[in-house]
């Protein structure tokens, strides 16, 4: 507001100055020159006032926008902090206590997630599916059979892989996912192939494990153990099997 007042005051000063100079210089100029001088000064004053008003309006808009943003951030911060206090059950306690408990909970959650990832297969996300499908298309069209251990994570991964092979145009065997060759005792991720396609064993295995993600145990090769024999056979077993040496 102060800037607007000063701007208008400055414009008023220009008007007074223009009038004074016009009166003093009138005898020295021709009428046309004098009127050009007066009109130019008046236009300059008007432009100055309009510029000051527009600048003030823009400043007010920016101030209102910033105020709304700050208010939204403040409300969001309060909501996040209240949620954090609720999760940590530290409502009314010092902020340092809330942060300390939150850090401990996050650490425990990270441990649980890491343990889950170490022993269970995860779902293949859309990005990994698209990448795997593109790789499979590049290998040409072949036949594949996929089975899995009865663990739900093994079955879900097998379903995801079947979907990728089908979308890549491969011939996918219709044998049941579970209950076939050695599936009950399967461990790790196995890929078997015929001798004629042995050169694709390693590239295909790497593509499959890249989509499945995580450390793998029990990788094996050899010819497909089922009849009729497909070009490739995939067995999804548990990601990690624990053995108790004391038993």
Q: Each residue of 11-24: pLDDT tens digit?
A: 665 566 666 555 65
**What is the phi-psi region of residue 218: left when phi exceeds 0, alpha when psi lies from -120 to 50, beta otherwise?**
left
Query: Do 161 and 136 fall within a single domain?
Result: yes
User: Counting beta carbons within 10 angstroms of the beta carbon of residue 242, is it exposed (0 to 12), middle (13 to 18) or buried (19 or more)?
Assistant: exposed
User: Counting beta carbons within 10 angstroms of the beta carbon of residue 101, is it exposed (0 to 12), middle (13 to 18) or buried (19 or more)?
Assistant: middle
- Does 169 map to a domain? yes
Count structural domains, the chain.
3
Structural domain that includes position 182: 126-236
Average of per-residue pLDDT values in the chain = 78
Look up the pTM and report it. 0.58
Domain boundary among 119, 135, 167: 119
Query: Do 161 and 102 fall within a single domain?
Result: no
Query: Do 142 and 229 fall within a single domain?
Result: yes
Query: Do 147 and 52 fall within a single domain?
Result: no
Query: Do 65 and 109 fall within a single domain?
Result: no
Q: What is the pLDDT of residue 99?
A: 86
Query: Do 102 and 62 fall within a single domain?
Result: no
Token pair of 220 as six digits: 């094996």
Q: Each residue of 165-179: pLDDT tens digit?
A: 999 999 999 887 775
Residue 247 — pLDDT band, cuts 50, 70, 90?
A: very low
Query: Do 151 and 192 fall within a single domain?
Result: yes
Query: Do 79 and 171 fall within a single domain?
Result: no
How far, CA to CA in Å, does 199 sit from each of 90, 136, 173, 192, 196?
A: 60, 14, 22, 12, 8
Q: Each residue of 39-74: pLDDT tens digit?
A: 766 676 676 767 767 777 777 777 777 777 788 777
Which position has the higher pLDDT, 97 or 29? 97
Domain boundary among 36, 68, 86: 86
- Does 48 map to a domain? yes
Query: Do 104 and 42 fall within a single domain?
Result: no
Residue 246 — pLDDT band, cuts 50, 70, 90?
A: very low
Q: What is the pLDDT of residue 38?
A: 65
Please, where are the H alpha helices in 139-219?
152-167, 201-212
Which position has the higher pLDDT, 4 or 170? 170
Q: Each residue of 192-218: pLDDT tens digit?
A: 888 889 899 889 988 998 888 755 555
Q: Each residue of 88-145: pLDDT tens digit?
A: 888 888 888 888 888 888 888 888 888 877 778 888 999 999 999 999 999 999 999 9
Average pLDDT over residues 174-196: 71
Q: What is the pLDDT of residue 132?
A: 95
Query: Do 132 and 232 fall within a single domain?
Result: yes
Is the sign of the CA dihedral 224, 229, 232, 234 positive or negative?
negative
Q: What is the pLDDT of residue 131?
A: 95
Domain boundary among 71, 86, 101: 86
Query: Do 138 and 219 fall within a single domain?
Result: yes
């Amino acid at each position: 507001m102060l800037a607007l007042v000063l701007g208008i005051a400055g414009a008023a000063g220009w008007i007074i100055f223009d009038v004074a100079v016009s009166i003093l210089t009138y005898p020295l100029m021709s009428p046309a020159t004098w009127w050009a001088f007066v009109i130019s000064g008046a236009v300059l004053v008007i432009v100055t006032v309009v510029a000051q008003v527009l600048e003030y309006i823009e400043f007010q808009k920016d101030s209102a926008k910033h105020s709304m943003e700050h208010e939204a951030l403040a409300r969001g911060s309060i909501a996040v902090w209240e949620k954090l206090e609720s999760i940590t059950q530290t409502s009314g306690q010092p902020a340092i206590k809330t942060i300390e408990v939150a850090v401990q909970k996050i650490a425990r959650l990270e441990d649980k997630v890491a343990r889950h990832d170490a022993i269970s297969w995860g779902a293949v996300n859309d990005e990994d599916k698209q990448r795997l499908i593109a790789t499979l298309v590049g290998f040409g069209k072949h036949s594949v059979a996929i089975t899995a251990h009865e663990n739900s994570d093994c079955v879900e991964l097998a379903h995801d892989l079947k979907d990728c092979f089908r979308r890549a145009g491969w011939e996918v065997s219709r044998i049941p996912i579970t209950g076939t060759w050695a599936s009950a005792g399967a461990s790790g991720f196995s890929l078997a192939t015929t001798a004629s396609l042995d050169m694709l064993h390693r590239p295909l295995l790497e593509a499959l494990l890249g989509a499945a993600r995580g450390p793998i145990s029990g990788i094996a090769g050899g010819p497909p153990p089922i009849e009729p024999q497909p070009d490739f056979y995939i067995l999804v077993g548990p990601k990690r099997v624990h053995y108790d040496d004391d038993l």
